[in-house]
Amino acid sequence: MNITEFAAYAGVSKAAVSRYFNGGYLSVEKRERIAAAVEATGYHPSIQAQMLRTRRARQVLVILPKLSSESCARMVEGISDVLDQNGYHLLLVNTANDSAKEIAALHLLQQNTVDGVILMATIFTPEHRAILASLRLPVVILGQQYPGGCSVSHDDRGAARAATAHMLAKGRRSPGFLGVTMMDRAAGLDRRRGFEDALREAGIPLRPGRACVAAFNMESGYEQARTLLSREPGLDCLFCATDTIAIGALQYCRSQGIRVPDDLMLAAVGDSLAGRVAYVPLTSVQLHYRTAGRLAAGMLLDHLAHPHAAPDSRVLDFVLRPRASTGDTGEDEGFCTD
């Protein structure tokens, strides 16, 4: 069925059909009539025909580092909300935390039919920057600040500072740190700086031996907690860069009879469901992932509509959620959807 036949079936003009599928204005009556016809016939316009007419594919590519990540899932949900409302399709590429796959996906943008890209990168190499500079379509970086480009990120430094300061305010004076690679500006460098900020403000000296670097998984959190606590058994609190790492550390404590929070307090960033239902509920910092996804999608669509606009940058705030791992009896906030 072509657009002429569909318009006749729905009892509207071809222009009305076009406006319906491209998000244009229509009266409620015509919109309902077309929606009923779509339901009855399954009609959808040809993407190729739309591209020829509008020079738009109405498709956005989202490159993400990990399909199983709760934070990535929330951000994708936010992106999808906005794209769906504006008649765009979402295409996903999972890079499994492999920067070479990110670069390969960016190369594909020069060949495939998408209008823009939202990139959830963790590390920016010179090759990343060169490809991003060469692209002739809008790009929004999500989760990291990117000077000179469009980005939506979180106050990772402030989040780590708040979580660490919360434990120090309870009288703990021997803090440890389980982080991730410093090549990751947000989760690695900024959260390490936030941890150090809290120590300086409390007058506690920095001790390099009280820190370890983990991978982004529970197994590594467990192993690095073993390494750190075996080397520094006098630690009385531990900040972890992510909930996933913290849950691994929590499991190590359980296996060794280390009481949380009596012997060791734990706090992290991410406010994941797994952290909330752990055997000792985890104090964590909530970042607004779904809101970040919505803002990134909106920013991309704004730059499609105004291609010569100056790059925009947004940094979102956070909320500390104290729980039992720091000796708090926080109220149940329900399931996080942001």
Residues 270 and 166 in one domain: yes
293 in a domain, yes or no?
yes
Residues 276 and 301 in one domain: no
Mark whether 62 and 37 lie in a shared domain: no
**Integer angstrom CA distances of residue 32 from 16, 27, 43, 63, 103:** 12, 9, 15, 35, 44
**Inter-helix orientation angle 99-108/126-134, to 10°:** 10
Let me know whether 75 and 185 are in one domain. Answer: no
Q: Is residue 302 over pLDDT 90?
A: yes
User: In which domain, by residue range, is 307 found?
Assistant: 57-154+289-312
Return the ∠ at Cα 268 (arms to 267 and 271), rounded to 5°.
115
Q: Are residues 197 and 245 in the same domain?
A: yes
Least confident piece of the model among 62-66, 106-110, 169-173: 106-110
Q: Are residues 140 and 262 in the same domain?
A: no
Between 334 and 140, the higher pLDDT residue: 140
One domain for residues 206 and 179: yes
Average pLDDT value for the chain: 89
- DSSP state letter for 169: T
Same domain for 140 and 169, yes or no, is no
Based on the fold, state whether residues 28 and 143 are members of the same structural domain.
no
Q: Give a yes or no: residue 336 inside a domain.
A: no
Q: Which tens digits make up the pLDDT trace of 77-123?
A: 999 999 999 889 898 888 777 777 777 777 766 555 788 999 997 78
- What CATH number does residue 260 fall under? 3.40.50.2300
The model's pLDDT over 113-165, given as tens digits with 9 standing for 90+, comes to 788 999 997 788 888 888 888 888 899 999 999 988 999 999 999 999 999 99
pTM for this prediction: 0.80
Number of domains in the chain: 3
